[in-house]
Amino acid sequence: MVRSGWYRPAVVKSVHSCRVRAILAARRQLVEVRTGLYNQIRGLLKTFGVILAPGTGGTFERAVNAECPDDPMVRDAIGALVCAWKAAGEQKVALERQLVRIARDQDVCRRLATVPGVGAITSLTFVTALDDPTRFRRSCDVGAYLGLTPKRYQSGEVDLGGRISKAGDRTAHSLLFEAANALMTRVRKDCTLRSWGLSLAKRIGSRKAKVAVARKLAV
């Protein structure tokens, strides 16, 4: 089978990319844990009639301490969750600092971070997802590789386009979507890509336009 070429070779990522992606995966897990604890704390307090105002970080912790019922059992339960929430946040920050240092040491990541809306985490995720860019014959293949191109159904004279495939690295295409969202909604400095995305949003809607901008960022 090897001599006949009846196989598709699998790409194995480099050791460096695997190491960086281990840190990215750990950070993503900590974000999910922290979000779950945040929602759990708010849900438990709501059971006892305490509805917290929106807030994060120190604001959230102060609100919990101030509004928590005086019942010792409830305070112990909420206090344990708050301690775990703070610990997850501290570890997340530590990993993010390490990722920033790694990105600063790589010329490719520094250049990618000059794009409005793209930071160290997005650039590292993108670089490690592709690993070896020379394996793509054309830059437009990257959009399909990351699942940012629409599915197609073709049969006879039927040719239908569907939603984006969402194939490949989910973290990479979700972060690219976030970068596109930041570029179109938060960045005030105008650029060609932002102007193109805003004009596209008027015709097809903001969500589809952000997906299109994410694809252009990838390409």
Residue-wise DSSP of 16-77? HHHHHHHHHHHHHHHHHHHHHHHHHHHHHHHHTT--PPS--HHHHHHHHHHHS-S-HHHHHH
**Model pLDDT, residue 76:** 93
92 pLDDT band, cuts 50/70/90, is very high
**Model pLDDT, residue 98:** 96
178 pLDDT band, cuts 50/70/90, is very high
- The continuous run of DSSP H or E covering 94 comes out as helix 72-104
What are the structure tokens assigned to 147, written together?
Answer: 């699942």
Mean of the per-residue pLDDT values for the chain?
A: 89
Q: Which of 122, 97, 98, 96 lies closest to 109, judged by CA? A: 122
**Model pLDDT, residue 28:** 94
> How far does CA 112 lie from the centroid of its chain?
16
